[in-house]
Chains A and B, each alone.
Chain A
């Protein structure tokens, strides 16, 4: 029931002439955010502004649903974050971003690690509902089948991080991995590499699919004949190390290797070094994620910088928008897409640019 109240809260404006927060803001000559604060955090608003806005609301007999909600103190000021794992920099940065915005807006974050198991994720959703969270952020959700029904019937604000819309969430945000992988592949082709291989994260088929789509677009757009292959590997230093060892032993080394992550790439570097394979002369190496170590490695690793902290911040904002009803919802984009940056360093044989260069 509580969820239903919240759901309708950000849809007032579609009910024809009915008074809404935007109209109240106009009539009072203040911003929508100010009206929201008068209701949610009256102590943060100057006295005369608060009196004025309240009198306008009274005059037009306007009582937003979330006003009632905040009065009956049902809100827990808690949001849930369900995330596959916490080992990688990408997920850590997402958590940091969510925490930052939640802190700014005075929400606590309940955290659940799903390990990519749909059943575990469904249990978490259930647990979070019982703990009366105000909304849920799911990262790369694996919910399917019966578990999806659970989400469909749940009228709780939620945002999904990741391109797949499996959990039927209205609101998605993700990094455009496909475009990043396309630019990375184009870069490798421009450097003259003809045999390209990608190592994908065996535990993250969704991201792998997007990367594969981007690589394919680059292969299609080029006029050159490129031999492309791919393999699955664990997303770790060990995974990259073993994958390259296997390639060396089977004498099937490509000219250029795209690793799923900087950890994998570091493992690949070590395997190449052990076998006296020079990077970038004998093997070009690039990574689909960037981290602080990439520029310190020798040679510095060409990598895709994913704005993962910003992704977490955006997701938390979009969720709190829904919870507090602070945005006229239909005006807003439901999918927020962030662009990654290709950081061109030394590991693919680029000698043209004087320093780290972005595309």
Chain B
């Protein structure tokens, strides 16, 4: 089976790209991504001036991952040697870049093209540092900024979008006008780990990039939204941990999917395991190409206004006798779920107005919604 993907004229051997990040910050890391089977590797963000790393820079609490990393700590000359040294096999190398002005972006992009980058990704609206607000979000300057790069290089230029920037159809249109070839979405959300109440101090020293499984629903929504706003390819990122997540993004219209914090948390092996399980799933379902599934779930997505109100109510066919769980009762604002005289939990259909939360929460699936 061939599950290759065409992205802006590049043939990717599968739909899995490793996102810009420290796992692709030097030759060894990039090589491990390639060897694990990634179709394309996006480098850590390269600038004209290297940036020293801060320590600590990764923060975690309750499976929530935050990072305060932004730019590569390698000089451009070192990147030249990195790009020369790696054995690319059949993988593509996409260089993530950032600069403060149109000419800086154009110069850096052209240098990297000549060093062998197959494509460029602009780290357009990273959530971590303070940047000139005139570029990362909707503004008259953005188009010139990106067009300077697009006009200078002869390789595809992708824009990596934050949730905020991807949310604006006007901004998306502006990026299209500037000539970008594809969108990567979404970048990490801006996040703070929390506050130490006794010390009255934040738990991390600056705003971080909040990534991982919790941001996946946000990213799923943005993939579907971008498909609505634009005809350009979308490369989805945000909380992809399993092959099922990849399939979800593809069914919402993504052209390819980026793995990011999964590599940070579970190592490079997750790349090959996601690729293999995904191809097994595709084969076992008889799909011969990713085109067979791409965007297939979009037809079931409707605007809120078009959803016909139905008069459904919660029913449980037999009363629940559990005493250790009251999730359904706790969440019922209408007090429609209660214990009867025998202490069993029952649903009162006359009080219920059909919100469906008890159905979602019940660990035994013993409640369902039925017509009144």
Instruction: Give chain A's interface residues, CB within 8 Å of chain B.
Output: 30-34, 37, 44-45, 97, 100-101, 104-105, 176, 307, 309-310, 313-314, 317-318, 326-328, 331-333, 335-339, 341, 357-359
Contacts and interface: CB of A to CB of B under 8 A. Distances in A.
Q: Is the interface of A mostly helix, strand, loop or mixed?
A: mixed
Given A44-B84, A101-B75, A337 B103 contact: yes
B106 interface: yes
Nearest to A321: B111
A314 B48 contact: yes
A263 to B, nearest CB: 24
A11 B212 CA distance: 49
Given A33-B84, A33-B116, A332-B152, A307 B107 contact: no
Contacts of A100: 75
B116 A31 contact: yes
A336 B132 contact: no
Given A31-B84, A318-B107, A332-B106, 16 more contacts: A30-B116, A31-B115, A33-B83, A34-B116, A97-B49, A176-B101, A310-B47, A310-B48, A313-B75, A333-B152, A337-B102, A337-B104, A338-B100, A338-B104, A339-B100, A339-B101
Contacts of A357: 130
B49 A105 contact: no
14 contacts: A30-B116, A31-B116, A32-B115, A37-B84, A176-B101, A314-B104, A318-B107, A336-B103, A337-B101, A337-B104, A338-B101, A357-B130, A358-B130, A359-B132
A307 B49 contact: yes
B232 interface: no
A310 B115 contact: no
* Size class of the contact patch on chain B: 20 to 34
Select the residue from A309, A310, A328, A335 with max chain B CB neighbours within 10 A.
A310
Nearest to B129: A358
A313 B75 CA distance: 10
A336 B104 contact: yes
B212 to A, nearest CB: 26
A32 B152 contact: no
Select the residue from A44, A318, A336 with max chain B CB neighbours within 10 A.
A336
B148 interface: yes
Contacts of A45: 84
A135 B173 CA distance: 44
B84 A307 contact: no
Contacts of B130: 341, 357-358
Q: 9 smallest A-B Cβ distances: which pairs?
A: A31-B116, A104-B77, A358-B130, A339-B100, A310-B49, A32-B114, A333-B103, A33-B115, A336-B103
B152 A104 contact: no
Nearest to A355: B206
B57 interface: no
B155 to A, nearest CB: 11
A31 B152 contact: no
A45 B116 CA distance: 14
Contacts of A31: 83-84, 114-116
Contact of B107 (A37, A314, A326): A314
B174 interface: no
A308 to B, nearest CB: 10
B294 interface: no
A313 B48 contact: yes
Contacts of B360: none
